[in-house]
Amino acid sequence: MMAVGAALAFWLATWALNVALARSRWRKARAVRIAVPVIFGLAVLVLWQGLVRGLEVSPVILPAPSDIAVTFANSTETLWEDFVQTVLKGALSGYLIGCGVAFVTAILIDRSAFLTAGLLPIGNFVAALPIVGIAPILVSWFGFDWHSKAAVVVAMVFFPVLVNVVQGLKETEAMQRDLMRTYAASYWQTMLKLRLPAAMPFVFNGLKIATTLALIGAIVAEYFGSPVKGMGFRISTGVGRLAIDLVWAEIAVAALVGTAFYGIVAMIEKFVTFWHPSQRVG
Amino acid sequence: MHRALPVLAVLAVLTAVWYLGAWRMNTPWALAQAERAGQELSAGELFTATMNQDRPRLPAPHQVATELWKTTGDMALRGKALSKRSLIYHGAITLGSTLTGFALGVALGILGAVAITYSRVAEMSLMPWAIVSQTIPIVALAPMIVVLSNAVGIEGRGVPKAIISAYLCYFPVMVGMVKGLNSPSHQQLDLLKTYNASGAESFFKLRLPASMPYFFTSMKVAIAAALVGTIIGELPTGAISGLGARILIGDQFGTPLAIWAALFAAAILAGVLVTVIGGVQAVVLKRMGMAR
C-alpha cells in the first residue's frame, strides 16, 4: 500500500506543479510548453509503477514500467531484428511506393475533370474502409516475407494520399492560374511553380495520415503469416506464450517508431510549407 | 445524373480491370487443371474456366456478388438470417461492438474537448499526448487488450473490441469539438457576458450549439474509424464471430470467396453508417437553422 500512496502523492504533486506552471507568466515559453506534457507523462508512468507494485498485479496481466525497461534493454537484438523486418522492409518500402504511386496518379487524374469527378467520391469512400482486411489475401499472393507486408501498406496508404493530393491540386484560385497564363507559363511550369507548392499542405496532411496506416498495415499483415521475425509476429506469439513484458517492449518500439515517423514527416512539412498560416508561431 | 455519370464510368473501368485481373491470376490453375485432364482449352473456354473456380486466387466480381447474396439475402429469405453462417449475424456482432466503441469514444472525445476548452493545464498536458496516441499503431495493442480483459475476468470479445474502437475514434471527435467549442467569436461570448450568463448557460446556449457542424463532421470520420477498430480487434487469433473473424477464418480454411464477401459486407456497413450520420446531420442542422 505504501507504493500506491507514494505514487498517488507524486501524481498530486506533479499535477499541482503543472497547474502552477500553466498559470505562471512563463506559460508561453517553449520550455514550459514542453515541460508540462513531459511531467504529465512521467506522472502516469510513476502511477502505473506504484499501482502495479503496490497492488501486486501479476506480471502476466500488466508488467511494471521498470520490468518493461529491463526487458527492453536485455532484448535489443531481437527488437532490432524485428524493427528492420517490419519497419524498414515492410512499412517504409510500402509507404514510399504507395505514396509515390498515389502522387503520380493524382497528377495524371488531375488533367481530366471527368476522371477527377469520378474518382474523388470513390477515393473518399475507399479511404474510410477497413482495408486492413485484405491483408490475408495479399499475404497469400505475395508470400510470407516482407513483400506482402509492403503490398498491404501500399493498398492502405494509396487512397488517403490520392484524395489529399487531388484536393490540394484544386487549391489555386482562377486569378492565380490566369496570372500564370499571362506570363505564358506552360502546363508544367504552372504545375511546378504554382499548383504543387499550393498543394503541399494537403499533400503533407495525407502523408502524415499514411505514416500511422503504414505501421498498422505492416504489423497486422504479420498476424497472417510471417517469417519468424517482425513486430507483429513477436506480439502475436508473445501473447500466446505469456511473454507479456516482451510484447510491451515491442509496443514501446512501435510507439517510438510511430511518433518518430510522424515527427520526421511533420518536420519536413514545416520546412516545405513554411509560408502556410498554420506554421506561424505565436 | 450529372454527377453520377463520372462515378459510374470509373466504377465500370474498375470492374473491367478486376475481371482482367481475375482472368490473368486464375489462368495458371485453370491451365494446370486442363493439362491434368488431358484437354486443350480454347481462349474462350480458358476465360470461362477462370471465372468460376471454387478457390480462385482472385474471384471475379460476379462470384463475390453471388457469395454475398448467398450469405445474406438468400439466407434471410429462407428464414435463417441469424444463422452462424450468415453474414447478417456476423455483421450484427461487428455493428454492436462498433456502436459501443463509438459511443464510448464520442463520450471520451467530448469530455476531453470540454476539459481542454475550459482548463489550460488540461490543454497543455493532454493535447500533446492525444496527438502522440494517434501515431501509435493501435493494432500493436489489440492482442494485448484481448488478453488483459480476459485476465481481469471479462468474458468474450465485445469489451476489448469496443476499447480498440473507442481508442481509434475519440481523437477526431476531440479535435473537432475543441475547434467547435471555440468557434463562437469574442463578440458572441462578450454578448453573453453582458447578459450575465453563467458558465453553464454560455456552454449550453452558445458553445455547444455552435459546435454542432464540427461535431457531425468528426462523427463521420469517427464512425468509420470505429468500424476499422472493431475489425482489427477481430483479426488476432481466436475470434469466431464478426466480419473480421470471417476474414480470419476464410484465410485459415483457404476460402477466398468468404474473405471477399466479408470484406464487401464491411465496406457496405461502413457506407451505411456514414450515410446514416450524414442524414442525421442534415436533419439536425436544418432544424437548428445551420444548413448550408
Could you tell me the three cell numbers for B228?
A: 476499422
How far is Cα of residue A104 from the mean position of the Cα atoms in its chain? 22
How far off is chain B from A174, nearest CA to CA, in Å?
A: 22
Spatial CA neighbour of B224 closest among B169, B280, B145, B147:
B169
The tens digit of pLDDT for each residue in B165-179 reads: 888 888 888 888 888
pLDDT single digits (tens) B18-38: 888 888 888 887 778 777 877
Residue of A nearest to B151 (CA): A61
Strands (E), chain A: none
Per-residue confidence (pLDDT) for residue B237, from 0 to 100: 57
pLDDT of residue B102: 92
Grid cell for residue B257: 470467396
Q: What is the pTM of this model?
A: 0.83
| Separation CA A17–CA B146 (nearest Å) | 36
Q: Which of A248-262, B53-67, B117-131 is most confident?
A: A248-262
Cβ–Cβ under 8 Å, residues B148 and A62: yes
C-beta atoms of A122 and B11 within 8 A: yes
Mean pLDDT of A248-271: 88
* CB contact (8 A) between residue B124 and residue A41: no
Q: Note whether B57 contacts A136, CB cutoff 8 Å.
A: no
Nearest to B3 by CA among A169, A122, A129: A122
B85-94, B122-131, B133-142: segment of lowest average pLDDT: B133-142
Mean pLDDT of B40-53: 75
Q: Range with the lowest mean pLDDT among A8-17, A162-171, B39-48, B150-159?
A: B150-159
- Contacts from A41-49 at CB under 8 Å and sequence distance 24+? A41/B129, A42/A14, A43/A10, A43/A11, A43/A14, A43/A15, A46/A7, A46/A10, A46/A11, A47/A7, A47/A8, A47/A10, A47/A11, A49/A3, A49/A7
Which of B1, B26, B136 is the best substitution to test chain A (most A C-beta atoms within 10 A)?
B136
Task: Answer yes or no: is the ipTM higher than 0.90.
Answer: no
Q: Which residues of A touch B153 (CB under 8 A)?
A: none
Asked if A252 and A72 touch (Cβ cutoff 8 Å), the reply is yes
Residue B156 has pLDDT above 70, yes or no: no
Contact A130, B228 (CB under 8 A): yes
Test B137 with A121 for CB contact under 8 angstroms. no
Of A19, A116, A136, the CB nearest to B259: A136
pLDDT at residue B291, rounded to an integer: 66
d(CA B271, CA B53): 29
Quote the minimal CA–CA distance from B165 to chain A in Å.
12
| pLDDT at residue number B250 | 81
In A, which residues are within 8 Å of B7 by CB distance? 117-118, 121-122
Q: What gap in Å lies between CA A219 and CA A91, rounded to an integer?
A: 8
Q: Which residues of A touch B126 (CB under 8 A)?
A: 37, 40
Give which of B52, B79, B6, B122 is closest to A116, Cα–Cα.
B6
Minimum-distance CB partner of B57 among A141, A250, A259 = A141
A24-A25-A31-A37 Cα dihedral, nearest 10 degrees? 40
Mean pLDDT of A247-256: 86
Give me the pLDDT at residue A142, please: 85
Distance between CA B230 and CA B213 in Å, rounded? 26
Cβ distance of B232 and A132 shorter than 8 Å: yes
Tens digits of residue pLDDT in A108-154: 888 888 888 888 888 888 877 788 788 888 888 888 888 888 998 99
- pLDDT score at A126: 82
DSSP state of A133: G
3-state SS, residue B211: coil
